[in-house]
């Protein structure tokens, strides 16, 4: 079985970063807004900090101690022309998450607001696509996996992974079946699939009895089991039967990090090159 290594895909994406940032007249600058961040949030923020430092992307960390302070910070960065991207550190109350809708689409560097979702649905070039969903497509393209005429089964329909993947897979001519927690006989679907994409967060859920010979498997899941990180696919179990599979860790997660930087640079490029009508979309 061929292992679909995410590291090569991430390196390939990152190759353009330095040159693209050089071409921007000013460097991209992002703001990360949080509300009373806990230790887990701080670890995630540190990782963003490290990535931004590597590519000399400006970073403003704004920690709110109350909802009012968070809201004040939000309006400041939304209206600051030097800030090209805004991220919300989760978890946040829904009321605060709704503020994303008041951002212009290009500043929504995680692509989670309805403006970007609409653009993705219509296949617009200037859409900012949620990182993990785009990571799946980048992997498919990197390994020249042709989706035309293929039966693709996507398991998981969350707003950040499954749903934004649907229009991207259709754009690539896949014949698509979407499964979720209410689907009956999921394994009857996966057994007939040329390609299975798992994004449910259930450790080792997909086993060899539920795939066909020579299937291509893409694992988005990240689960902690017996002190290890494992995916939604039982990698050891399927490896004699599948043709290709992504590992966990070392697969989609690696690419997701690179896509976030790519989205941040793209948000600045959209402003610079005036693609679409982002500046008027507040
Ligand atoms: P989520 O919001 O919890 O959504 C899970 C989806 O899986 C839902 O659509 C749910 O169906 C479906 N589901 C749950 N249990 C199921 C079952 N037994 N059978 C069939 N479908 C089932 O999760 P998420 O944020 O999309 O994340 C999914 C996984 O990807 C998690 O392991 C997460 O850690 C991982 N992830 C990885 C990355 C990365 O960078 N690699 C990034 C983000 C997330 P319903 O809609 O019916 O509830």
Cis peptide leading into residue 249 (ω within 30°): yes
Distance CA 180, CA 161 (A): 12
Tell whether the model's pLDDT for residue 281 goes beyond 90.
Answer: no
How confident is the model at residue 277, as a pLDDT?
A: 44
> Could you tell me if 209 and 259 lie in one domain?
no
Distances (CA, A) of 57 to 107, 127, 230: 14, 21, 32
> Could you tell me if 20 and 117 lie in one domain?
yes
Domain that holds residue 38: 15-126+255-273
Q: What is the mean pLDDT of the chain?
A: 95
Cα of 57 from ligand 1 centre, angstroms: 31
Q: From 137, 201, 258, give the residue whose CB has the most ligand 1 atoms within 8 Å, as the site to mutate.
A: 201
Q: Is the CB of 199 under 6 A from ligand 1?
A: yes
Q: Give me the CATH number covering residue 191.
A: 3.40.50.720
Distance CA 50, CA 29 (A): 14
Mean pLDDT across the stretch 78-90? 96
Within a domain: 138: no
For 156-183, what is each residue's pLDDT tens digit?
999 999 999 999 999 999 999 999 999 9
H-only helix segments in the chain: 6-14, 17-23, 39-54, 67-79, 94-97, 114-121, 131-142, 162-171, 186-191, 235-238, 252-273
Strand pairing category for 216-219 and 195-198 = parallel
> Could you tell me if 20 and 122 lie in one domain?
yes
> Could you tell me if 37 and 75 lie in one domain?
yes
Q: Is the CB of 252 under 6 A from ligand 1?
A: yes
How much of the chain, in percent, has pLDDT values that exceed 90? 92
> Could you tell me if 121 and 178 lie in one domain?
no
Tell whether the model's pLDDT for residue 62 goes beyond 80.
Answer: yes
Within a domain: 153: yes
The token pair at 26 is: 């000013």
Cα of 160 from ligand 1 centre, angstroms: 9
> Could you tell me if 259 and 245 lie in one domain?
no
Domain count, the chain: 2
For 198-238, what is each residue's pLDDT tens digit?
999 999 999 999 999 999 999 999 999 999 999 999 999 99
Within a domain: 132: no
Tell whether the model's pLDDT for residue 282 goes beyond 70.
Answer: no
Tell whether the model's pLDDT for residue 278 goes beyond 50.
Answer: no
Distance CA 210, CA 213 (A): 10
Q: Tell me the whole-structure pTM to 2 decimals.
A: 0.95
């Amino acid at each position: 079985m061929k292992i679909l290594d995410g590291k090569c895909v991430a390196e390939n994406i990152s190759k353009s970063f330095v040159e693209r940032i050089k071409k921007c007249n000013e460097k991209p600058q992002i703001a990360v807004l949080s509300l009373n961040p806990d230790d887990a949030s701080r670890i995630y923020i540190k990782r963003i900090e490290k990535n931004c430092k590597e590519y000399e992307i400006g970073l403003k960390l704004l920690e709110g101690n109350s909802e009012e302070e968070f809201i004040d910070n939000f309006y400041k960065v939304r209206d600051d022309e030097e800030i090209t991207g805004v991220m919300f550190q989760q978890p946040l109350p829904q009321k605060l998450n709704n503020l994303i809708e008041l951002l212009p689409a290009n500043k929504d560097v995680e692509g989670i607001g309805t403006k970007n979702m609409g653009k993705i649905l219509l296949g617009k070039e200037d859409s900012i696509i949620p990182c993990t969903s785009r990571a799946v497509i980048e992997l498919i393209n990197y390994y020249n996996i042709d989706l035309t005429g293929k039966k693709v089964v996507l398991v998981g329909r969350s707003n950040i992974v499954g749903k934004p993947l649907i229009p991207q897979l259709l754009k690539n001519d896949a014949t698509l079946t979407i499964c979720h927690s209410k689907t009956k006989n999921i394994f009857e679907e996966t057994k007939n699939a040329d390609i299975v994409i798992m994004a449910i967060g259930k450790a080792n859920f997909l086993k060899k009895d539920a795939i066909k010979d020579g299937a291509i498997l893409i694992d988005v899941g990240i689960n902690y089991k017996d002190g290890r990180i494992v995916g939604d696919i039982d990698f050891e179990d399927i490896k004699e039967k599948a043709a290709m599979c992504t590992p966990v860790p070392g697969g989609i997660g690696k690419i997701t990090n690179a896509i976030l930087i790519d989205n941040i640079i793209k948000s600045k490029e959209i402003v610079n090159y005036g693609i679409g009508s982002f500046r008027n979309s507040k």
